[in-house]
A = this chain, B = another copy of it.
Amino acid sequence: MANERVAVLGGTGPLGRGLGRRLALAGYEVVVGSRDAARAAAVADALRAATGMTIAGAENATALDGAAICVLAIPADGVETMLAALRPRLAGTLVVDVVVPLAMRDGVVEHAPPPGERSAGEMIQRLLPESTVVSAFKTVPAAVLDGPGATVEGDVLISGDDAGARARVATLVERIPALRAIDAGALRTVRAVEGITALLVNLNRRHHARTAVRILGL
């Protein structure tokens, strides 16, 4: 388990880089994936230098070689095209979706899944029918994950239709210090979780903060 390989696709963006850093520090063998192999290698080098942990970089499809878990940290508007290409490579893989589609309307950041969709998590599961998709990490601030010494604090709501897969992701979450995993149940619960992301981004703008969320009473 400790040496499990995790590919972080879109691992050069803020959230992907932060998750790569934290998962490497937690003992996972991390491969940073990017459309651009050179950019992936550069981010991997920087994270390796900063953490002293095992981190490689590769083009997205190559990054999946030998990976037990794929973290999908690509921008929301690139999901459909990218997953059409990667679907065969991702068959049978546990996919951790951290995508949140957001849009700004009249000064308010809103949860904005594509027309006909209710959430990124459900869309990704539909695009990857041979994979098990679990949504997580959607309410953790990227900037805090990617900070070198900062403590990441907050609850990670975990949504997915496969209870065993949710449990695997909960284990992964809780190997990151100060994060707590909360089993939210069926994948559809991610609709509300992605709404929380929009709310937190609005709070960040309004209050000049980096917010996360905690569920009281659990």
Contact = CB atoms under 8 A, between A and B. Distances in A.
A173 to B, nearest CB: 16
Interface string A37-56: 00000000000000000000
Nearest to A186: B108
Contacts of A212: 215-217
A189 interface: yes
Interface residues of A, number: 39
B216 A153 contact: yes
Contacts of A216: 153-154, 211-214
Interface of A: 105-108, 110-111, 141, 153-154, 157, 182-186, 188-189, 191-193, 195-196, 198-200, 202-203, 206-207, 209-218
Given A182-B203, A183-B207, 14 more contacts: A107-B186, A108-B186, A141-B217, A184-B202, A184-B203, A189-B199, A191-B195, A192-B199, A195-B196, A207-B218, A209-B217, A209-B218, A211-B217, A211-B218
